[in-house]
Amino acid sequence: MSNILVTGAAGYIGSHFVRRFLNAKSAGQVIAVDNLSVGHRESLPDTERIHFFENDIGDLEFARSLFRKHDISAVVHFAASAYVGESQEQPFKYFDNNVIGAINLFKAMDEAGVKKIVFSSSCATYGNPNYCPIDEDHPQKPVSVYGNTKYIAEKAIQALATTGWSYVSLRYFNASGCDDSGEIGESHDPETHLIPLALQTALKKREVLSIFGDDYETEDGTCVRDYVHVNDIADAHLLAFDKLESGAKTEINLGSSVGASVKQVIDLCKEVSGRDIPVKVCPRRAGDAVALFADHKRATEVIGWTPKYDLRSIIETAWNWESNRKY
């Protein structure tokens, strides 16, 4: 078996994928690239099967050199900037990393004859949905710079597919939870995601958790999201990777298909942690859609994926990590 290139390998989702990949496949090296701008070197296991490079995959000459030196057969491309709020403040950081960087990677791949990719896309490419659950045929009208950059990269890959590439673009909903081992987990700086913030508040690392709006048209007035465990997401990449051989060309939603409100998440975080979580209701956060949850039928039909973790087990693994973090 030849080698696989994993970009953003030391990031939250990348590091979970690398572990699952090493366990699932007995052969093949992981060429792991991460510029460590947000990733954690210690999230990758110490094994001879990983060749780690602290570099920017968007650097065309570096990417070319990787393909020259290593026998790479396919790419799993996680590396990206992924804060919606930041993307509005620093749009060109997002164009540089998520569009120009991605296109440089694609160029180096194409020159080397490597035409297989699993790409990290996002439900942010849909924008404010016309209906939920969202299927893959739902119109894509991203409302943030981040969502637009993922959309543009998806389109570039679709165009390359007309020239012989195979690909699976995975549109993540709310990635959450941590590996059951407690050895790796979610560690963002700054942290903006609901579950880690709620659990950090339970641990008194934060005084109070903000609820961004409780006057939405939902059952309890708070926004509804679709939380999906990071290991389920990692497993979907493995399944998608296996489909590249047979010439897959598709976009797939990765969500649990179950919507949970902000208040429901907080209540479960209280239950799982057995602690109080003080909250304050704040104004709505700009850019938040009322409800976003997936229809994941295509994931089941095309790659045989169904999520194994429910919201409670997502929070349990996150709590396990958060109360004993390694990084």
Instruction: Tell me which residues are annotated as active site.
Output: 146
Q: How far apart are CA 42 and CA 94, in angstroms?
A: 26
Closest separation between CB of residue 244 and ligand UFG, Å?
A: 24
- Whether the bond between 91 and the residue before it is cis, its omega within 30 degrees of 0, is no
Nearer to ligand UFG among residue 46 and residue 189 (C-beta): 189
Closest separation between CB of residue 36 and ligand UFG, Å?
A: 20
Nearer to ligand UFG among residue 4 and residue 84 (C-beta): 84
Q: How far apart are CA 137 and CA 247, in angstroms?
A: 21
Nearer to ligand UFG among residue 104 and residue 149 (C-beta): 149
User: What kind and span of H or E run contains 316?
Assistant: helix 311-322
Closest separation between CB of residue 11 and ligand UFG, Å?
A: 12
Nearer to ligand UFG among residue 211 and residue 269 (C-beta): 211
Nearer to ligand UFG among residue 117 and residue 209 (C-beta): 209
Place of tokens 């465990």: 229
Interface residue list for ligand UFG (CB under 6 A): 82, 84, 122-124, 146, 174, 192-194, 197, 209-212, 223, 225, 262, 285, 288, 292
- SS3 readout for 1-45: CCEEEEECCCCHHHHHHHHHHHHHCCCCCEEEECCCCCCCHHHCC
- Whether the bond between 133 and the residue before it is cis, its omega within 30 degrees of 0, is yes
- SS3 readout for 192-235: CCHHHHHHHHHCCCCCCEEEECCCCCCCCCCCEECEEEHHHHHH
Closest separation between CB of residue 320 and ligand UFG, Å?
A: 19
Other CB atoms within 10 A of residue 196 CB: 24
Assess contact for 184 and 178: CB atoms under 8 A.
yes
Closest separation between CB of residue 164 and ligand UFG, Å?
A: 30
